Amino acid sequence: MTYVYTLRRRWQVTSVLLSAFTMLAISVDRYRAVIFPLRPRPTIRTALLVIAVTWAAAMIASLPVAMFARVTRRVTHDGTELEFCDEVWPYGASQRSVYSVVVMSLQYFIPLSILTFTYVHIAVVVWAKRVPGEAENNRDRKLAASKRKVRASHAAIRHSRVRLT
């Protein structure tokens, strides 16, 4: 019974952390692609390394759940004794609280901060930049003035040729 609970509980923690870490990897990849478009794309080896680190981090962070899961017996209010699967930490509830804060930070606060930074920065860059080839008034005015000068000089040259003949 303890083994089944341990696996189920550890898988829950692992899958949530894995999901958060995968979203982080995707957002960092998109960030690099948008902010640094001329840098080379990550290689297959780099991608496999990111996947391995993501899985390893999720598995390591969920390891304490597997280490401290135990079947405990409790007496209910009507006097019957029931078995519960619970995490029994060696130094009590304070250690469990610290672990809970660490897991909450790893699966919520840190990913939220990084995701917010990357996607806000991407949005600012995408919305603030002009599209390549989009009309720019200052450049277009200079180009039009330059064309007028060229036309005027061509007209002057033609006019002077007509006079000479």
Across-strand partners of 149? none
For residue 164, the model assigns a pLDDT of 52
For residue 136, the model assigns a pLDDT of 65
For residue 87, the model assigns a pLDDT of 78
Tens place of pLDDT for every residue, the chain, 165 residues? 556 656 677 788 899 999 999 999 999 999 999 999 899 999 999 999 999 999 999 999 988 888 887 777 888 888 888 887 777 788 888 888 898 899 999 999 999 999 999 999 999 988 887 666 656 677 777 877 777 777 777 666 766 665 555
Compute CA distances 82 → 1, 65, 144, 165, whole Å. 13, 21, 87, 117
For residue 43, the model assigns a pLDDT of 94
- Our CA angle for 112, 115, 121, nearest 5°, is 135
Give the Cα separation of 85 and 94 in Å (integer). 19
For residue 76, the model assigns a pLDDT of 83
pTM of the model: 0.68
For residue 57, the model assigns a pLDDT of 94
Token reading at 108: 């919520």
Give the Cα separation of 5 and 97 in Å (integer). 20
Token reading at 56: 């390893």
